[in-house]
Amino acid sequence: MSTLTAQPLSPQPLAPELPANHYLNESHGLKSWLLTTDHKRIALLYMASITLMFAIGGIFAMLMRLELLTPPADLVSDDTYNKLFTMHGIIMVWFFLIPSIPTTLGNFLVPMMIGAKDLAFPKLNLMSWYLFNIGAVVTIYAILSGGVDGGWTFYTPLSTGYLNSHVVAAATGIFIAGFSSILTGLNFIVTTHRMRAPGMTWKRLPLFMWSNYATSVILVLATPVLAITLALVAVERLLHFGIFNPALGGDPVLFQHLFWFYSHPAVYIMILPAMGVISELISTFSRKRPFGYAYIAGSSIAIAAFGFVVWAHHMFVAGISVYAALVFSLMSYAVSLPSAVKVFNWTATLYKGSISYRTPLLYALGFLGLFTVGGMTGLFLAALGLDVHIHDTYFVVAHFHYIMVGGTIMAYLGGIHYWWPKISGRMYPEVWGRLSALLIFVGFNLTFFPQFILGYLGMPRRYHAYPPEFQVWHVLSTAGASILGVGYLLPLIYLTWSYKNSPVAGPNPWGASGLEWQTQSPPITHNFVTTPIVTREAYDYTGIPAPALAVRSEEEASTYVS
Amino acid sequence: MSSQHILPRRTYFLVFLALEVLTVVTALVASIDLGAANTVVALCIAVTKSTLVVLFFMHVKYSSKMTKLTVILGVFWLMILLGMTMTDYVSRLWSTVR
Ligand code: HEM
Ligand SMILES: [Cu+2]
């Protein structure tokens, strides 16, 4: 089946069987994995790495929430607490959120969505995974040999002159992992330009491709600045050159400029791929072309561009010029517009769609609400006056967790469920899937909504003791975190289980329109038997049979065939 | 790749020579006090040198339009970093009461 025309595509078989040959059984043994250049296997390798890092970061989070259950400092010492939030931040930002969607779903899907055999540079892709792991090992070394404190932001002169923890080791780990980011971004850019199948024009690219393209541009442009900045920190710390420390003739605000010039765009590295996933989920489960395709695609590019000119909103109270602050505040308001365009377009896509509330859509709907709250509170923070009150409080903590956890992780999990049939060849268990989506949504809100209130009431971030009147909110938050923890554990268990035990999915269990669904599940190593020739527009559902499937039981199947 | 263009060895030596000369000039200029122009002159020389490297050693002069565009975009983006950072430093004292 190589030519995709507007004619009916072969319907999904009712009782599909696993194909005889696919990328998972093409070769066996550890070596066949560790030396693979197959983008799909590398995606799975990356998935294993980042899941491990997520678990480590999660343990640090749970320890912090336990400490905060009671007002006095009891569970851990102040030094240990400082290290906990620092290492939690470093691991979650650089070793989970930044790589999360691009290196797993992105690696798996970018070639498939454009009808290619692999990424443009398969070996660089493997090298990227190795660099990531080397960076992770160096960072873990920093953790095991005593840890690092001062916050994930490495603010100077604290980090360069006054901390006695493993700052340079941690920064080296991040530096190395940065190169894995650059390689992934470069690979995606070249692949998108050069590897599209005949007929796959830019206007026919799935929205997931557009958002990964925009992300890749940020990865390539911004990551080197972080690398240089961390290198300068190391130079000042080890050699005492005066760069950032005023006592040596340096300028501490310069560090913040450089750091946030990377780190604000970096928050878009985290959210843009998530937005791409959401576009796919919402279209498939409402069986409609996304409303305003061109605007959703264009807003990804606009976010990538505007994201570079708002960074000083992290520095409003750092003593920067009020005139500069005014400009950065205005730009921060401007950057929220393309995000709002997306939210409205997704909602409009749902309108009068043929909606099925499968697990991936539940995650997508969760994303929609949580991302909106996260984005709107970003506007609170970008207001020059209000930020003086809520800067460095729990309000900021709640804001970015709504986006990074409520947004990115919801989308990541939604995407994993949606493409799980493609990745593994089998369905995930629907009931468990819905339960976990619900638990995560409830647990998430219970964890982080109280933090908005705490922050507004004046609880500063990064403290391990607090006045008793704040306790009720902290108790709620810790309770929510426990639910959230269970919610994250569930998919890990049932997806592993489903790999051997669930019903076989077949090539296109969702009746989705993307090219990745026009080949067998799991795909062969080269994805397509012959290079597809694309003659359809993106998200054209005409002739694609509605899902006959997700056959968990004969009975359920019958409700989907009409 | 369109970077198959082969340059005569002479070009490389000339560019190398130019870079060496400019390095010496940088060192010499550093010993003369030009007041506010100190940094400006040093930066001008540095930009000239890096332009030579990009155009000849990195072959951008003989590369596709896409490559040129990418380089220009990179420089433009560096200007954003420097320019918008400077908005802070330049205007910081405007509002102090005189
Ligand atoms: C809708 C656009 C957004 C606006 C206007 C916005 C605004 C802000 C502002 C003004 C701050 C600084 C608050 C302070 O420290 O006083 C901030 C902090 C933060 N935001 Fe956003 N934000 C937006 C979107 C995002 C997104 C999409 C993410 C992540 C994916 C994100 C992640 C963060 C993080 C991590 C911090 C805190 C960094 C730290 O100090 O540790 N924001 N945001
Ligand atoms: Cu920001």
Quote the pLDDT of residue A5.
42
Across A36-105, where does the E strand assignment appear?
none
Quote the pLDDT of residue B98.
54
Q: Which ligand sits nearest to residue A90's alpha carbon?
A: 1
Q: Is residue A24 part of a domain?
A: no
User: Quick one: B41 and B71 in the same domain?
Assistant: no
Residue A470 to residue A476: CA distance in whole angstroms:
11
Ranges of chain A with pLDDT below 70: 1-14, 548-562
Q: In this complex, which of A261, A309, A323 lies closest to B91 when CB atoms are compared?
A: A323
Q: In this complex, which of B74, B92, B94 lies closest to A320 when CB atoms are compared?
A: B92
DSSP B12: H
Quote the pLDDT of residue A11.
57
A189 contacts: CB under 8 Å, gap ≥ 6: A213, A216, A217, A220
Beta bridge partners of A117: none
**Dihedral sign (CA A170, A461, A162, A231):** positive
**Dihedral sign (CA A252, A255, A260, A263):** negative
User: Quick one: B14 and B59 in the same domain?
Assistant: yes
Q: Which atom of ligand 1 lies at the shortest distance from residue A397's CA?
A: 37
> Structurally, how many domains does chain B consist of?
2
pTM of the model: 0.92
Quote the pLDDT of residue B97.
58
Q: Quick one: pLDDT band at residue B36, thresholds 50, 70, 90?
A: confident
User: Quick one: B7 and B42 in the same domain?
Assistant: yes
Measured in degrees and rounded to the nearest 5, phi and psi for residue A142 equal -60, -35
Q: Which atom of ligand 1 lies at the shortest distance from residue A379's CA?
A: 5
- Are B71 and B60 spatial neighbours (Cβ–Cβ below 8 Å)? yes
Pocket test for ligand 1, best of A400, A408, A461 (most atoms within 8 A of CB): A400
Closest residue of B to A258, CA-based?
B81
CATH of the domain at A351: 1.20.210.10
Q: Is residue A368 part of a domain?
A: yes
Closest residue of B to A319, CA-based?
B92
Instruction: Residue A493: count other Cβ atoms within 10 Å of its Cβ.
Output: 11
pLDDT tens digits, one per residue of A13-40: 667 889 999 999 999 999 999 999 999 9
HEC secondary structure over A528-548: CCCCCEECCCCCCCCCCCCCC
Please state whether the peptide bond connecting residue A522 to the residue before it is cis, i.e. omega within 30 degrees of 0: yes
User: Quick one: B27 and B5 in the same domain?
Assistant: yes
User: Quick one: B59 and B75 in the same domain?
Assistant: no
How many CA within 13 A on the CB side of residue B48? 16
**Dihedral sign (CA A303, A307, A308, A310):** positive
Tell me how far apart the terminal alpha carbons of chain B are, to the nearest angstrom. 61
Around ligand 1, the residues with Cβ closer than 6 Å are A 153, 267, 270-271, 313-314, 332, 335-336, 339, 375, 378-379, 381-382, 387, 391, 396, 399-400, 403-404
User: Quick one: B11 and B55 in the same domain?
Assistant: yes
User: Quick one: B73 and B54 in the same domain?
Assistant: no
The ipTM of this complex is: 0.86
- Are A208 and A113 spatial neighbours (Cβ–Cβ below 8 Å)? yes
Confidence check: pLDDT of B19 > 60: yes
Of A274, A294, A295, the residue nearest A366 (C-alpha): A274
**Dihedral sign (CA A27, A28, A34, A38):** positive
Quote the pLDDT of residue A148.
96
Q: Is residue A301 part of a domain?
A: yes
Quote the pLDDT of residue B5.
72
Burial track A415-424 (b if 16+ CB lie within 10 A, e otherwise): bbbbbbbbbb
Q: Rounded mean pLDDT of chain B?
A: 89
Residue written as token pair 């989705």: A512
Mean pLDDT value across residues B72-84: 94
Between CA A201 and CA A210, with CA A204 as vertex, the angle to 5 degrees is 95
Question: How much distance in Å is there from the Cα of A266 to the middle of ligand 2?
Answer: 9
Domain that holds residue B79: 64-98
Beta bridge partners of A527: A524
Residue A439 to residue A437: CA distance in whole angstroms:
6
Residue B47 to residue B35: CA distance in whole angstroms:
20
Of A66, A57, A62, A65, the residue nearest A86 (C-alpha): A57
- The H or E element containing residue A4 is strand A3-4
Domain that holds residue A443: 30-561
Q: Is residue A3 part of a domain?
A: no
Beta bridge partners of A4: A534
User: Quick one: B25 and B59 in the same domain?
Assistant: yes
Residue written as token pair 């409205």: A344
Residue A554 to residue A525: CA distance in whole angstroms:
32
Chain center to CA of B35:
21
User: Quick one: B12 and B54 in the same domain?
Assistant: yes
Q: Is residue A22 part of a domain?
A: no
- Are A307 and A332 spatial neighbours (Cβ–Cβ below 8 Å)? no
B88 vs A: CB within 8 A: yes
> Structurally, how many domains does chain A consist of?
1
